[in-house]
Amino acid sequence: MTIGIMNGPNLGRLGKRVPEVYGSETLTDLEERLRGAFPGAKLEFFQSNHEGALIDCLERWHGSGIRDVVLNAGALTHQSYALRDALEGLELRFVEVHISNVYRREPFRAHSLLAPVAVGQISGLGLRGYELAVRFLLDV
């Protein structure tokens, strides 16, 4: 079983962008953390600032047999019907993850277009949310 770890817009700047909200760890730190926490698991990582690139990657993953995804779509969570349609149409089992607590921020962040087709959602637990999502997908 391989789990895809996908990050959307602006998450490539983790550790530099608004560290008081997103922390000081980088995307590379996250990848190392997950590989260390799950040494026997096969993990595929992808990040893009472009909606179409995310969808292309999901289609590639689906074609290669990946059915489980941890997804932090960033702001696309709140505005991308195309991403939602791809996730639903590919019948991927995914956990929506947000580093910050989106419900304590601007009101628009509290609405997720993706949540209705996700198996679960983790918000506000920092990078630990990714670990919890991977653990969940490995256990079910």
Catalytic residue among 98, 103, 111, 130: 98
Catalytic residue among 22, 78, 81, 103: 22
Distance of CA 138 to the CA centre of its chain: 15
CB 48 within 8 A of CB 80: no
Residue 96, sorted as left (phi over 0), alpha (psi -120 to 50) or beta, turns out to be beta
Kindly write down the DSSP assignment for every residue of 93-130, as one continuous string: EEEEEESS-GGGS-GGGG--SSGGGSSEEEESSTTHHH
Instruction: Please provide residue 95's backbone torsions phi and psi, each rounded to the nearest 5 degrees.
Output: -110, 125
Residue 111 bears catalytic tag: no
Query: CB neighbours of 67 closer than 8 A, spacing ≥ 6?
Result: 91, 92, 93
Residue 98 bears catalytic tag: yes
Instruction: Please provide residue 130's backbone torsions phi and psi, each rounded to the nearest 5 degrees.
Output: -65, -40
Residues noted as catalytic = 22, 98
